[in-house]
Structure 1
Amino acid sequence: MPAISFDGLLVVSAIALAAPLLTATVPGLRRIPAVVVEILAGIAVGPSGFGWVRIDPAISVLALVGLAFLLFLAGLEIDPTRLRGPVLRSAGLGYLITLGLGLAVGFAAAGAGIVRSPLLVAVTLSATSLGLVVPVLKDSGHAGSDLGRLTIAGATVADFSAIVLLSLFFSTGGHSGAGGTLILLGLLALLAAAVAAFLARLGRSMGLEALLVRLQDTTAEIRVRFAVVLLIGFVTLAAHFGVETILGAFIAGAVLNLVDRDTMSHPNFRLKLEAIGYGFVIPVFFVSSGLRFDLRALLASPAALARVPLFLLAFLV
């Protein structure tokens, strides 16, 4: 077995610990999300900064799991009761307007020779992260307000749509084209619906529910293990289907949320999942994003550097 160093992972873990402490105690940082500090710290200690840490196998694997867990928890936040009627119409219309503006910016940038793919620019500008929006709203106490519910609904539509569009037009897992990818996405959706229906029917078994309750707070942590199997299962399916694996992680979270509606018998289940995600693997992903950021290449290219304020302005628009 080859020797694996954990030195880099130790630095990454220390950054993950320090980031929320700094944003909670330093007055000038209190309005900055901890993930921003994690990414910036990753840039500082990585190859673009002091060069103390580089991506190694330990960091790479945990970062990959962290990305999957982030999308899994994002899918877990999808509440079908919030995606109905006027809320769904407002969220959908808002996303279409944003995507349209993104396409306009993308084609304008392509015409000026700044970018090559207008659609990728549009998807990027219209995307959001439900996994980041929900924690911020929860921590601020606005998740249950009308504005909070509308924001979560909009983030849900944007997050899911962006993942589907990326899988449809930019997936590198297969060579079947957009039409073939669309068929594979449909098959993946049918499988997800079938799994959800099977699990919902299985969940009505009183004997199984009693067994789960008996094992859920022991070292078996049976519900957590089930969630992990569901996550890895859909990620594996997405990989075999040739679509983005993050879509599989997102669908796994949505399926679990759909079949796990009554949480009275296991109130700590989702807290345990969030503890694994936000307390362990997700910060590794954010710090590793900073480690992978090639700041020197950006600074060495005046043309690339000039695009930064343009894209920031496009995000604001």
Structure 2
Amino acid sequence: MTLLELAIILGISRISGYMAARLNQMNVLGQIIAGLLIGPSVFGLVHSDHVLEYMAEIGVVLLMFLAGLETDTSELIASGFSSTVIAAGGVIVPFAAGAWVGLAAGVTLPEALFLGTMLTATSVSITVQALREMGKLNSKEGIAIMAAAVIDDVIGIIVLTFVTGYISGGTRILPLMEKIGVFAVAVAVIAVVLRRYSERIVEVMRPGTRIITFALVLCFSMAYFAEKADIAAITGAYIAGLILSNYSTKEKIVRGVEEIAYLFFTPIFFISIGLKTDVRAVLGDIGFSLLVIAIAVLGKVIGCGLTARLVGFNWSEGFTVGVGMVPRGEVALIIANLGLKKGIVSQRIFGVSVLMVLVTSLIAPPLLKLFFHRAENTKNGE
């Protein structure tokens, strides 16, 4: 990658992100589309290489570290049984349906498992914006969506951990469980030590940017050791963020890491997703692409809707919660990219996953408004 290509990537990522925001869409969508346009599929201005991939990998790790930092662990614990049940339904149904569709389409078992995993994680940021605009953020459905989305991310990471370990371990369950067990014990010890001495650490690290450096050292170290344990590096980064999420200097850490991540590394990651997507492969297999998108939508609507009904929501409210969980975003792309990097996911599945993220992100807000409108009509009719 030349310096000119880097300049093009950073410039186009800023412009495309701004244009997406003006259209009330996520910056991520604009950056992916920009990557498609400047990549080999369209204009061929920039090509992916090892240098770009390395920078994109750093962006992914920082992105998941921020996700862990911004997870409210107290809310996670307090969200209760009903939100956990809803989140579990929204993970199990899309995962099982996605893996089954993959196998039916003739892909290998590892690739089918990755396809199912891609469909598990919700990107709630789009739903939050739609709920805000409708004044429904604090509604019964809105609160359920927010709580379930937090748990949904955690369950999705757990699923990814087991799928990655299962594939890397050559389907040997016992060695996989041993590695995950050792890693879990090590994480627990680190978490206890860092929580117990948090005030002392903050006192020593508070001046200047020391605490940010400390946070980054923890992030990259845990990502490295997770990978050594045949667990995805992003899992280690996410856990590192969770460990520091209750620190008094959390906001300072978040601001510092965001400056590094969002100004440079994460735009490179999302542009690289577009660069690596073969548009011709996706369009040439449009039937399969549409089937995966349908599974992505129905999996969340049915999985969350049915489980919401089991924990006290009526049908209308339950399916509204399901629609709110439909959008996919960063985590799905990170999982797809990980599969492609490891040689597990083909260009076919990778391209389908990118299209799935774009479509689910675009259709979720109007669907949510429609379901809320129907729910209100149902209540008025009663």
TM-score bin (small chain) = 0.7 to 0.9
2:212 match: secondary structure: helix
Tell me if the contact between 2:94 and 2:119 (Cα under 8 Å) persists in the aligned partners: yes
User: Which of 84, 87, 96 is the aligned partner of 1:92?
Assistant: 84
Tell me if the contact between 1:78 and 1:254 (Cα under 8 Å) persists in the aligned partners: yes
1:84 match: secondary structure: helix
Matched, 1:33 2:31: no
Q: How many residues align?
A: 294
Tell me if the contact between 1:68 and 1:246 (Cα under 8 Å) persists in the aligned partners: yes
2:294 match: secondary structure: helix
User: 5+ unaligned residues in a row in structure 2: which ranges?
Assistant: 299-382
Aligned to 2:174: 179
Matched, 1:316 2:300: no
Tell me, in whole angstroms, the C-alpha distance in 1 between the residues paired with 2:262 and 2:127.
12
Tell me, in whole angstroms, the C-alpha distance in 2 between the residues paired with 1:305 and 1:267.
44
User: Which of 11, 14, 21 is the aligned partner of 2:11?
Assistant: 14
Aligned to 1:78: 71
Tell me if the contact between 1:82 and 1:149 (Cα under 8 Å) persists in the aligned partners: no
Tell me, in whole angstroms, the C-alpha distance in 1 between the residues paired with 2:221 and 2:70.
19
Q: Which moved further from structure 2: 136-145 or 54-63?
A: 136-145
Tell me if the contact between 2:56 and 2:266 (Cα under 8 Å) persists in the aligned partners: yes
Aligned to 1:226: 214
Query: Which structure 2 residues correspond to residues 208-227 of structure 1 after superposition, within 5 A?
Result: 209-213=202-206, 215-216=207-208, 221-227=209-215
Tell me, in whole angstroms, the C-alpha distance in 1 between the residues paired with 2:61 and 2:218.
12
Tell me if the contact between 1:101 and 1:122 (Cα under 8 Å) persists in the aligned partners: no
Tell me, in whole angstroms, the C-alpha distance in 2 between the residues paired with 1:143 and 1:227.
36
Q: 1:136 to 1:72 in 2, by over 3 A?
A: farther
Q: 1:150 to 1:277 in 2, by over 3 A?
A: farther
Aligned to 1:305: 286
User: 5+ unaligned residues in a row in structure 1: which ranges?
Assistant: none
TM-score normalised to the size of structure 2? 0.68
Matched, 1:241 2:229: yes
Could you give the per-residue CA deviations for residues 54-104 of structure 1, whole angstroms, max 9, x where no partner exists? 01343222111001111111111221211234x232332123222342255
Could you say which structure has the higher helix fraction? 2
2:47 match: secondary structure: coil
User: What's the RMSD between the two structures over aligned residues?
Assistant: 3.1
Aligned to 2:117: 123
Tell me if the contact between 1:173 and 1:244 (Cα under 8 Å) persists in the aligned partners: no
Q: 1:209 to 1:227 in 2, by over 3 A?
A: closer
Tell me, in whole angstroms, the C-alpha distance in 2 between the residues paired with 1:282 and 1:138.
26
Matched, 1:193 2:188: yes
Q: 1:235 to 1:209 in 2, by over 3 A?
A: closer
Matched, 1:280 2:268: no
Q: Which moved further from structure 2: 153-162 or 248-257?
A: 153-162
Amino acid at match of 1:233: S
Shift of residue 294, structure 1, vs aligned partner = 1.4
Shift of residue 245, structure 1, vs aligned partner = 0.9
TM-score normalised to the size of structure 1? 0.80
Could you give the per-residue CA deviations for residues 294-315 of structure 1, whole angstroms, max 9, x where no partner exists? 112333x4xx321111111112
Tell me, in whole angstroms, the C-alpha distance in 2 between the residues paired with 1:102 and 1:209.
42
